[in-house]
Amino acid sequence: MREIVVISGKGGTGKTTISAAFAYLAENKVICDLDVDAPDLHILLEPAIRERHDFISGHKAVIQQDVCVQCGQCANLCAFAAVQVKEGRHVVDELRCEGCGVCVALCPQKAIVFPDSHCGQWYVSDSRFGLMVHAQLFPGEENSGRLVSLLKTEARQRARAVGLGTILCDGSPGVGCPVISSLSGAGLAVGVVEPTPSGRHDFMRIADLCRHFRVPLAVIINKEDLNPAEAEAIAGLCAEQGHTLLGRLPFDPVVTTAMVCRKALTEFDNVVGNSLKDMWSALQALYPGK
């Protein structure tokens, strides 16, 4: 099974635009949107939801007021200041509760229950470009790394069940827990990088992460003409550190036009889309499907 994950050191670099462009070109694949905090690949791929599942992960403390004697022990013990006093009653702010369970274990009255936490939903869909696995974490919910891991497991199972050989993922932005989960089991990461000092810094962070997890990294420099000197610096770092420079894309308003029309850049004839087709071909040579 071939697993390709498109990542970036932060949001807004063009990661999803490039993922959609590759999703149009890839054959025999499952598409996976791993940006579970703020998914947007569905806007371009228009998935028809076939299955809808709840994502249950972790717990939240809830104080039973009929048992609580308002001693304040839980408020003193909670390291996250999640227990507050409102109108003379101790209550848990569910947005602050980290589900550590300390208050549950140490309440002298056993007044705190600890139900499962419903953190979001995940879906299996038929999209314009094929089978898609995606999700939406509820606002303020944690455990995005676990949800990413669940999506990848589901994508692998679905791919195996119907004989699809490639999983193409729009990874999570940043370098935190969900990105680490995104990279788990991947055979190739495609890093989308902007030519700015912060983009170069982000590139170095994702390169470190890929090196640590032994995932080869291929780089696309997006909007390279906005800062040719930085683009050169990033290209130099790729050469120095042994990462493949998959290609460079110019700044082009066609990207916005494609988005407004809800089209992938590779669906119609344009300079950026045609460059992405060349990059997809280069990627096939780098990491061939079976």
Contact residues for ligand SF4, defined by CB under 6 A: 61, 63, 68-74, 77-78, 80, 82-83, 90, 92, 97-103, 107, 109, 111-112
Question: CB-wise, 69 or 261, nearer to ligand SF4?
Answer: 69
Question: CB-wise, 91 or 282, nearer to ligand SF4?
Answer: 91
Question: CB-wise, 20 or 104, nearer to ligand SF4?
Answer: 104
Cβ 200 to ligand SF4 shortest distance, Å: 38
Question: CB-wise, 25 or 112, nearer to ligand SF4?
Answer: 112
- Are the beta carbons of 135 and 121 closer than 8 angstroms? yes
Question: CB-wise, 53 or 118, nearer to ligand SF4?
Answer: 118
Cβ 59 to ligand SF4 shortest distance, Å: 7
Cβ 74 to ligand SF4 shortest distance, Å: 3
Cβ 85 to ligand SF4 shortest distance, Å: 9
Cβ 99 to ligand SF4 shortest distance, Å: 5
**Residue 28 half-sphere exposure toward CB, CA atoms < 13 A:** 12
